[in-house]
Amino acid sequence: MFFRCMDLFNIESFKQAKLISGEEGAYKEISWPYIKTTDSIRKWVNGKELLFILYDNENSNLYDLLKEAINKNLSGIVILTNFTEEIITNDLIELSNKHKFPLFLLPWNIKLLNLTQEIILAIQKYSTKNLEAQKIFRELLNSDKNYYKNLNKFYNINICNYNFLGIFEDKDNENIENFYNHYFDIILKQLFLKNFIKKDEIIYFTYSNRIVFLIFIDNIEKANKIRTIIENILKKFILKYKNLYLAFSKINKNNVFLKHIFDETEEALNIGKNNKNSNQIIYYENIGIYKIFIEMINNENIKKHCFENINVLLEYDLKNNTNLFETLKVYFNNNRHLVNTSNELYIHRNTLIYRLNIIKTLLKKDLNNALENLELYNSILFYEFNYFH
């Protein structure tokens, strides 16, 4: 929940302003209002400031100022003037639109001190709300009770019969912020415009490198449509974010603990991130046998049995600096196809056969026996699942 350029028009003193160009940058976050008092702003800004300037004929080099503001990653420029839009030249509009950088015009006689104070208060309010949202949500995640009424009280949310949760995660904190400011906003707008959800049916906030959202709906069919819409929108620009993943929970009734829903979704996210063959969009229902692993993770007997099946390979690899465990996993992943396995491992076919013979000897297993292979492969998957947890 950041205060953005688009939120400026919610401030009474700003309603006289006109957005002249750079509309596509209206999602930009504003960290602080800054009033220009020097010829150059380069030394005085840190990025994300909203710049206010008083335009006059003697100091009218707006083009160079705009370039400087873009280079310093400011959020927008508000020009206070008694002139009309004619001061905004075509070159200025072109540069503004190209860099998605908002330019506003505001009457010169506005009480600027009052306006900047209102903006600062709004920024602080948005920041506080995001922190409070995180706090309330974390309290729910650590609770063994279903306190959905707390969500209703804090967010004024409409608690319907069903809900599902989503987690966006990116390894790059800056990327997730850019994604939240722009693309996540596009997703929300589409859902609102198509009337699939109302603003009182969704909770969302950011923390660290994640965006968490929880959507309430009245039926399962509608939930599936919403997830499909989100996926289709995301597919259009997900290639720009190579390390971005989205995990969807199951569709749950409201008698399911939020902590349980979040834990399952987080597990699905971790599985997707650590599986090189996984899509960037992960549905909990589609993670297959890993759903069983999630249930089994605290079962020490099953864990011990699986580790016993493969421990001899792990110990041999450690002692001899070999790669038999990985070889067997890739062999199973390629449906025991010798050529495909050797190609993926970048080894000769004969080398693969030699390794497989050692594996058979160490494990005392018949790799042509389907049941034994199934048990071995499940043990490998379960071991890796536990390793990443």
Q: What is the pLDDT of residues 128-166, one digit of tens each?
A: 877 777 777 777 777 766 666 666 666 667 778 899 999
The structural domains of the chain, with segments of one domain joined by +, span: 5-118, 143-287, 295-387
Answer for the pair 105, 79: CB distance below 8 angstroms, yes or no: yes
Residue 131: what residue type? L
Determine the Cα–Cα distance for residues 3 and 102; give it in Å rounded to an integer: 15
For residue 329, give both structure tokens. Answer: 């996993």
- Res. 127 pLDDT band, cuts 50 70 90: confident
Sheet holding 18-21, edge to edge: 18-21, 103-107, 76-81, 49-54, 32-35
Q: Positive or negative, the Cα torsion across 220, 136, 154, 200?
A: negative
Place of tokens 């020009």: 79
The dotted CATH code for 5-118 is: 3.40.1390.20
Q: What is the pLDDT of residues 182-199, one digit of tens each?
A: 788 888 888 887 788 887
Determine the Cα–Cα distance for residues 96 and 143; give it in Å rounded to an integer: 48
For residue 76, give both structure tokens. Answer: 């927008």
CATH architecture of 143-287: 2-Layer Sandwich (3.30)
Give the Å distances, CA to CA, from 106 to 45, 49, 59, 96, 294.
Answer: 22, 17, 17, 17, 57
Determine the Cα–Cα distance for residues 1 and 6; give it in Å rounded to an integer: 13
CATH 1.10.10.2840 fits 295-387, yes or no: yes
Answer for the pair 197, 217: CB distance below 8 angstroms, yes or no: yes
**Residue 27 phi, psi dihedral angles, 5° rounding:** -80, -10
Determine the Cα–Cα distance for residues 28 and 2; give it in Å rounded to an integer: 9
Answer for the pair 225, 219: CB distance below 8 angstroms, yes or no: no
Q: What is the pLDDT of residues 349-385, one digit of tens each?
A: 999 999 999 998 998 888 888 888 888 887 887 777 6
Q: What is the pLDDT of residues 29-78, one digit of tens each?
A: 899 999 998 888 988 999 899 999 987 655 568 899 999 999 998 999 99
- Has residue 388 got a pLDDT over 50? no
